[in-house]
Amino acid sequence: MFFIRLFICLILLSSAFTAQSAVILQYHHVSDKTPPSTSISPQLFDQHLEHIEQQGFSVWPLPKLVQHLQQGSTIPDKVVSITFDDAYESVYRSAFPALKKRNMPFTIFVATQAIKKNNQLFMTWDQLKEVTQFGATIANHTHTHLHLVRKQEGETNEDWRARLREDILRAEKIIDQNIPNTSKLLAYPYGEYTQEVQSLSQELGYVSFGQQSGAVGNAHDLTALPRFPMTNRFGAMKQFKLKLASLPLHASKVIPNQKIVRQPSISKGLRFEFDRKYAGISCFFEGDAVSIKQEENSIIVQQELTLPVGRSRINCTAPSSEKGRYYWYSYAWIRPKANGEWYKE
């Protein structure tokens, strides 16, 4: 009898670990004619939606998912939210019909300056209003799509914060003038943020999103929720299936916790402390396996990581008790040039 009860407890415990989580997908262009680094073909995008349907995933509006995370409410297994950054016209032309046909809600993070200038690469306000009638949420992506982490030459910390605040609030005002009752959701341009940026986001009342990979769960910081970036390269069906089925691997502490790195590398000894013990963790940096030492609820990187100029990240995964499902965690760095100048996009 004791072993039967123990077995039942283990099953319930395993189920508890797979609940309370969801996956957020992030897209930019849905086109064959736009930059490969931010584009997915309409054909592959349609395959994504077909797989979501076939596997029985529930597509939730992002505000609904955020509300569950804020309240600590139960999130059923197999929940996904779909997001687009920048409001490119290909989203309206290629993605919207496919989503509308399937009655799938989605969120568009809008950088308002480009739309205000009637840039032909972006959706219009009329188009954005139209998609809201079919389940879309319009949210904040700042006004000028600025690099939030960068201070201008001679700019004080106070001036920098004031400039960021003005840019975010300006976008909020413009969106509200065109599409009232929008949600307080913010996607960091380029996925770049620091603890100071997170603090400003919280001060302004936003739930915010990066571009680091991973599923979301109740333990995550609501000022830097992860999303899986989707392109032809990183959204190929084999990878997409794994990412869609992923579970949150939450790091409660990173030592050293630094987003902007001005030296050329991260020294051996980088430590990630997780919310519980995960067996079989593997980490990868720039596509290569990373040597790690696992200790109870943490891992220590056993090698120096040479950072390229710009953005880079380490991805760590651990197998779950369910076949084909992995816990997934990502941590990102930003490195300026050696002379202190910021890299160009």
* 8 Å CB contact between 294 and 316: no
The count of other CB atoms within 10 Å of the CB of residue 75 is 20
Q: 322-340 burial by CB neighbour count: b if 16+ within 10 A, else e?
A: eeebbbbbbbbbbbbeeee
Q: Which of 248, 278, 307 is the last residue of a domain?
A: 248
* 241 shares its domain with 285: no
Give the domain extent around 130: 2-248
SS (H, E, C) 120-139: CCECCHHHHHHHHCCCEEEE
* 8 Å CB contact between 314 and 284: yes
Assess if residue 345 is contained within a domain.
no
Q: Which of 215, 230, 248 is the last residue of a domain?
A: 248
* 47 shares its domain with 181: yes
28-65: per-residue pLDDT in tens? 999 999 999 999 999 999 999 999 999 999 999 999 99
Q: What is the CATH number of the domain that holds 304?
A: 2.60.40.1220
Assess if residue 203 is contained within a domain.
yes
3-state class percentages of the chain: helix first, strand second, coil last, to nearest 5: 30, 25, 40
* 30 shares its domain with 103: yes
* 257 shares its domain with 314: yes
* 8 Å CB contact between 316 and 242: no
Q: For 64, list phi and psi in degrees, rounded to 5.
A: -65, -45
Question: Average per-residue pLDDT in the chain?
Answer: 92
Assess if residue 344 is contained within a domain.
no
* 164 shares its domain with 208: yes
Count of structural domains, the chain: 2
Residue 76's SS3 state is: coil
- What residues in the chain have per-residue pLDDT under 50? 1-18
Q: Is 66 exposed, middle or buried (0-12, 13-18, 19+ CB in 10 A)?
A: buried
C-alpha–C-alpha distance, residues 234 and 223, integer Å? 24
* 24 shares its domain with 165: yes
Q: Which amino acid is at 205?
A: G
* 302 shares its domain with 241: no
C-alpha–C-alpha distance, residues 204 and 150, integer Å? 19
C-alpha–C-alpha distance, residues 312 and 329, integer Å? 14
Q: What is the CATH number of the domain that holds 79?
A: 3.20.20.370
70-121: per-residue pLDDT in tens? 999 999 999 999 999 999 999 999 999 999 999 999 999 999 999 988 888 9
Look at residue 19 in the predicted model and tell me its pLDDT.
52
Q: Which amino acid is at 293?
A: K
Q: Which of 183, 213, 248 is the last residue of a domain?
A: 248
* 278 shares its domain with 224: no
* 244 shares its domain with 320: no
Return the H-helix or E-strand segment holding 59. Answer: strand 58-59
